Amino acid sequence: MSLKIIRENLPGSLESFLKMGLKKDGIYKQLEFALQNVLDICNEINSTLELGIVVGYEDIVGNLHKAKIIDDSLKEKLEFLIQLREVLIYNYDLIQDEIAFKNMPEYLAMIEDFLAFTQRFLEGQKWLES
């Protein structure tokens, strides 16, 4: 749902994005929600499959990779999304709207890649090629 809200409200130009005020903050908050959901799903897989004790999200992603549940590419994307979430939550003042607007399609694509993986995983398909 968060991805849909972002897509519906993200303007077509940087100039419009910069003028959005609180609505722009809402887009960032929806992105944060989406990222949190991604990481919660990772945590659920890790704990359900008893892949190991974790201290942080990096450990969860590492466990999924070590167990060959996610490939190198998805691991890299998840590691980036963890960092993005940290900025959105703890270092919001560091966000540069110009960069965020330019990269928003890439952020959403990374989340969608993870959702596609999740769909395959839940359907019981082999998630990695041997």
On whether residue 110 sits in a domain, the answer given is yes
Which tens digits make up the pLDDT trace of 92-114? 889 999 999 999 999 999 999 99
Whether pLDDT at 127 is above 70: no
Q: 19 in helix, strand or coil?
A: coil
On whether residue 128 sits in a domain, the answer given is no
Give the residue, 129 or 86, on which the prediction is more confident: 86
Whether pLDDT at 129 is above 50: no
On whether residue 130 sits in a domain, the answer given is no
On whether residue 129 sits in a domain, the answer given is no
Q: What is the CATH number of the domain that holds 117?
A: 1.20.120.580
Whether pLDDT at 15 is above 90: yes
User: Structurally, how many domains does the chain consist of?
Assistant: 1
pLDDT number for residue 92: 86
**CB under 8 Å to 26, separation ≥6 — which residues?**
9
Average pLDDT score, the chain: 94
How far apart (Å, rounded) are the C-alpha atoms in residues 91 and 117?
29
pLDDT number for residue 33: 98
93 is in which domain, residue-wise? 2-122
- In this structure, of 59-63, 92-96, 113-117, the range with the lowest mean pLDDT score is 92-96
pLDDT number for residue 93: 87
